Structure 1
């Protein structure tokens, strides 16, 4: 479970096994009693969330947009076949 970023009590990460065939690039978010999944491709968008307030989701989505290139690069480096 490689952690990529930490932000305001949340950790953005992905699992080392993201399906077969592998799902498109995305991050999981966990913290403050909640969790979410954010797609990075083809664009940043919320896949699902549980227990995270809307204003915090907005901030997490904005962070993912700002860090999208970095997040995708880490994903590609890790899963490089």
Structure 2
């Protein structure tokens, strides 16, 4: 489970056996979310409230280029 970034208490990561479309998993304590990277949108979440999902979405948008770059680097090997 490569961690790409950790910010605002959230860990952004992907699993080593991922599939398309490009997406990122996010966790903080027992809260999780999964966002599409190419067209930033929520795929699913568990235990996150609306405020947290908005914060995560903003972080994904702010780091979108880096997250896609890290996906491409990891899965091109």
Same fold, TM exceeding 0.5? Answer: yes
3-state SS of 2:55 partner: helix
Moved over 3 A (4+): none
| RMSD of Structure 2 on Structure 1 (CA) | 1.0
Aligned to 1:26: 23
**Structure 2: which 5+ runs fail to align?**
none
Per the TM alignment, residue 51 of structure 1 is displaced from its structure 2 partner at its CA by 0.4
Matching of residues 1-81 of structure 1 within 5 Å: 1-18=1-18, 22-41=19-38, 43-81=39-77
CA distance in 2, matches of 1:28, 1:80: 19
| Deviation per residue, 1:38-75 (Å, 9 max, x gap) | 0012x100000010111111011011011101100000
CA distance in 2, matches of 1:66, 1:45: 13
Q: Please, what TM-score do these two structures have when normalized by structure 1? A: 0.89
Number of residue pairs the alignment of both structures matches: 77
**Structure 1: which 5+ runs fail to align?**
none
